């Protein structure tokens, strides 16, 4: 994630990667399948959990990408130093499926549980 108004500013890189989509788990076992299928963008590296929030007009914005927002204990690390928590996602990839609704339900459930627990 990059602030297009100030690209030189801090960036956010995804830290909770999706197995088999964004990284290859156990590459010594599954790597051959990715090479055979010529799957692009499947070898990402995980970024650190703690990352600097974006500064936007004096506000501190903690970012997370796609399904990262359902892992409350992980996003809480950056949210603690922010005034706003944002989720950037493009659910159009899952057009015609229940993925967008499922994502929203999981995020709402996490938010309610954390709110009720605190």
- Per-residue pLDDT tens over the stretch 47-75: 899 998 988 888 899 999 988 888 888 88
Listed range (1-5, 17-21, 45-49, 75-79) with the worst mean pLDDT: 17-21
Task: State the Cα–Cα distance between residues 43 and 39, nearest whole angstrom.
Answer: 9
Average pLDDT over residues 80-87: 89
Please state, as a whole number, how many other Cβ atoms lie within 10 Å of the Cβ of residue 68: 21
pLDDT score, position 40: 66
Task: State the Cα–Cα distance between residues 99 and 116, nearest whole angstrom.
Answer: 26
| Count of positions (residues) in the chain | 118
């Amino acid at each position: 994630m990059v602030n297009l108004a100030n690209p030189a500013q801090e960036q956010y890189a995804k830290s909770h990667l999706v197995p088999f989509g964004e990284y290859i788990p156990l590459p010594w076992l599954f790597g051959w399948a990715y090479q055979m299928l010529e799957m692009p963008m499947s070898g990402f590296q995980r970024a650190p959990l703690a990352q600097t929030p974006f500064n936007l007009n004096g506000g501190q914005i903690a970012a997370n990408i796609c399904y990262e927002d359902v892992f409350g204990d992980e996003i809480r690390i950056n949210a603690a130093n922010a005034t706003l928590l944002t989720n950037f996602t493009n659910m159009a990839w899952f057009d015609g499926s229940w993925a967008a609704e499922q994502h929203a339900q999981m995020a709402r459930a996490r938010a309610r549980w954390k709110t009720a627990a605190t």
